[in-house]
Structure 1
Amino acid sequence: MDVDAYLDRIGAPRPSAATASALRDLHEAHLSAVPFENLSIHLGEQISLDEDALFDKIVKRRRGGFCYELNGAFAVLLEAFGYTVTRVGARVFGGGRWGPPFDHLALLVSTADGTGTWLADVGFGAHSRHPLRWDDRAEQVDPDGRFALVDTDDGDVEVVKDGEPQYRIELRPRTLADFEPTCWWQQTSPGSNFTRNTICSRLDRGDRVTISGRTLIRTRDGARTEEPLSSDEAALAAYREHFGIHLDEVPKAP
């Protein structure tokens, strides 16, 4: 991996050591620069979990992606700096039920000095701005919510935000290849949320900017505003202005 190019992409300096503080800075920088987006699905682009393909899409083509892509690439970057990264699968909670296994990819990151393990996740959209301390079961206050990690009776760990379950982590270490079947399902199944609508979202100086379908959404200090993107030209301009994504056509959901 061209580490310097990746750091330039997220606007972050090279960390001097694999510390918790550096992880925190890299995590927030990634969320601010690289959007959570599913546009490839609606542009007819094949999503590959090959590490070179992830680097090409996120760094060279300055695009974003969903969890497998974003956390998959971020894991390799962290390992280049000396962090120990364990890739883990999770089931996402939505619609009153748990999703399938490998529904989500999250990262458990240990620092080089042994000062702790952290749950890092730059691929879940609106989630924690900073990594969560993995061994802490007390409430953890983040700029973007109040989080808790809860041990379940079957040995998993449930991530809770503002009192609502987000996803449930299975602790068995995985490889990126383990997520390929579910990644394909997310791209193709009518039952996948990603095939039903387009989404592109990132942190914006501590706030959030999102394009959902044909609506530009800004969230600032808890206040939400919506602006319809009534034409293809307006939508393409919004992708360029807010995400640096230059498209030839507007991605359209069914």
Structure 2
Amino acid sequence: MLNDVMVAQYLERIGYRGSTSLELSTLRGLHLAHMQYVPFENLDIFLSKPVSLSVDALFDKVVLKYRGGFCYELNTLFFELLTALGFQVHMLSAKVFNGSSYGPDFDHMLLTVAVNDKQVIMDVGFGDSFREPVFLDISHSIQLDSVYDVEQHGLNFILYRRKIGMARSPQYGFTLNTHQVLAFHTMCVFQQTSPKSHFTQKSVCSIATKYGRKTISNGRFIISGKNKRTEYIIGSESEYREILRKNFKIALSEDCCLARLMAK
């Protein structure tokens, strides 16, 4: 549980200075700030540093050390922040769609929050995804170049995304069954260690900007936004370190093996 001092530090970390009242506007502001200040990244996996889902470890990594993380880390810590602020929030399990089929249970963690007699999903750990909460029962949430919809099929829900000018595609499926963080531990270990895991295939560090994203993918630096995309190869470990520092505010220790992060 986050205490008042930790909550203040967390809000400072994500640059949030708005209201903390139990309103939808607060959830919108917090979600957007989190997406723009805390990167989605899996660098520790390639640096052979096991991920811990304890609140103290996550707070130290994300808030005090200005790092990011993947879904289990970021949404667990965001859950703690929202809970400390007084919101009614729950953890949900999702099955990620890989282009042809859905993954297993607990493949992904997202959050649901009840506010003003409405229910929204929140997810600050899915990389290039929605920036503001999406209602469970209202279609066509337009955010930048994408439209998000949640469709219900019996007890199952599917989040869809349609980029302007492109076909709609599912992002993940989920139910409203709630879970404790312990239920995600097995899949969290799998995602870090299995050669079948998407997270062991390439290193990534990505963050939302006002109009797009900045992303390091292995040894490539990609900037997108306003219908523009630039990409170039990072030429050296020192340049990689400088891009991390300048664009993501991440300062890795000098003994980190950056060659693992830059491997093609």
TM above 0.5: yes
2:77 paired residue among 73, 77, 82: 73
Of all paired residues, the percent bearing the same amino acid is: 38
Equivalents in 1 of 2:98, 2:196: separation in Å?
12
Q: Which residue of 2 is the match for residue 168 of structure 1?
A: 173
* Deviation for aligned residue 1:251: 6.0
* Deviation for aligned residue 1:78: 0.7
1:130 paired residue among 127, 132, 135: 132
Q: Which amino acid aligns with 1:175?
A: Q
Equivalents in 1 of 2:221, 2:51: separation in Å?
25
**2:65 pairs with 1:40:** no
Equivalents in 1 of 2:135, 2:259: separation in Å?
37
Q: Mind listing any 5+ residue stretches in structure 1 that lack a counterpart? A: none
Q: Which residue of 1 is the match for residue 148 of structure 2?
A: 147
Q: Which amino acid aligns with 1:30?
A: H
Equivalents in 2 of 1:173, 1:46: separation in Å?
26
Asked whether the equivalents of residues 204 and 217 of structure 2 are also in contact (C-alpha less than 8 Å), the reply is: yes
Equivalents in 2 of 1:33, 1:168: separation in Å?
27
Asked whether the equivalents of residues 237 and 259 of structure 2 are also in contact (C-alpha less than 8 Å), the reply is: no
Equivalents in 1 of 2:259, 2:112: separation in Å?
33
Q: Which residue of 1 is the match for residue 165 of structure 2?
A: none
1:10 paired residue among 7, 14, 28: 14
Q: Which residue of 1 is the match for residue 205 of structure 2?
A: 200
* Deviation for aligned residue 1:46: 1.2
- How do 1:16-35 and structure 2 match up within 5 A? 16-35=20-39
* Deviation for aligned residue 1:29: 0.3
Q: Which amino acid aligns with 1:117?
A: Q
Equivalents in 1 of 2:169, 2:45: separation in Å?
28
Tell me the alpha carbon deviations over residues 101-154 of structure 1, each in whole angstroms, 9 at most, x when there is no partner: 10000000112xx34221111100001111001222x2221225101111124x
Asked whether the equivalents of residues 7 and 14 of structure 1 are also in contact (C-alpha less than 8 Å), the reply is: no
Secondary structure of the corresponding residue to residue 69 of structure 1: helix
**After the TM superposition, which parts of structure 1 deviate over 6 Å for at least 4 consecutive aligned residues?**
none
Q: CA RMSD of the aligned region, Å?
A: 1.3
* Deviation for aligned residue 1:171: 1.7
* Deviation for aligned residue 1:200: 0.4
Equivalents in 2 of 1:66, 1:41: separation in Å?
10
* Deviation for aligned residue 1:77: 0.4
Q: Which residue of 1 is the match for residue 109 of structure 2?
A: 105
**2:211 pairs with 1:210:** no
TM-score (normalizing by structure 1) = 0.95
Equivalents in 1 of 2:213, 2:112: separation in Å?
25
TM-score (normalizing by structure 2) = 0.91
Equivalents in 2 of 1:14, 1:81: separation in Å?
13
Q: Which amino acid aligns with 1:203?
A: A
**2:56 pairs with 1:52:** yes
- Per the alignment, do residues 141 and 205 of structure 1 end up closer, same or farther by CA in structure 2, a change over 3 Å counting? closer
- Per the alignment, do residues 207 and 164 of structure 1 end up closer, same or farther by CA in structure 2, a change over 3 Å counting? same
**2:244 pairs with 1:239:** yes
- Per the alignment, do residues 251 and 77 of structure 1 end up closer, same or farther by CA in structure 2, a change over 3 Å counting? farther
Equivalents in 2 of 1:208, 1:10: separation in Å?
16
* Deviation for aligned residue 1:187: 0.2
Asked whether the equivalents of residues 198 and 251 of structure 1 are also in contact (C-alpha less than 8 Å), the reply is: no
Asked whether the equivalents of residues 222 and 231 of structure 2 are also in contact (C-alpha less than 8 Å), the reply is: yes
Secondary structure of the corresponding residue to residue 251 of structure 2: coil
Q: Mind listing any 5+ residue stretches in structure 2 that lack a counterpart? A: 163-167
Q: Which amino acid aligns with 2:22?
A: A
Equivalents in 1 of 2:173, 2:145: separation in Å?
19
Q: Which residue of 2 is the match for residue 221 of structure 1?
A: 226
Secondary structure of the corresponding residue to residue 187 of structure 2: helix
Question: For this pair of structures, how many residues does the alignment match?
Answer: 250
- How do 1:106-121 and structure 2 match up within 5 A? 106-111=110-115, 114-121=116-123
Secondary structure of the corresponding residue to residue 19 of structure 2: coil
Equivalents in 1 of 2:30, 2:208: separation in Å?
13
2:189 paired residue among 184, 192, 195: 184
Q: Which amino acid aligns with 1:157?
A: F
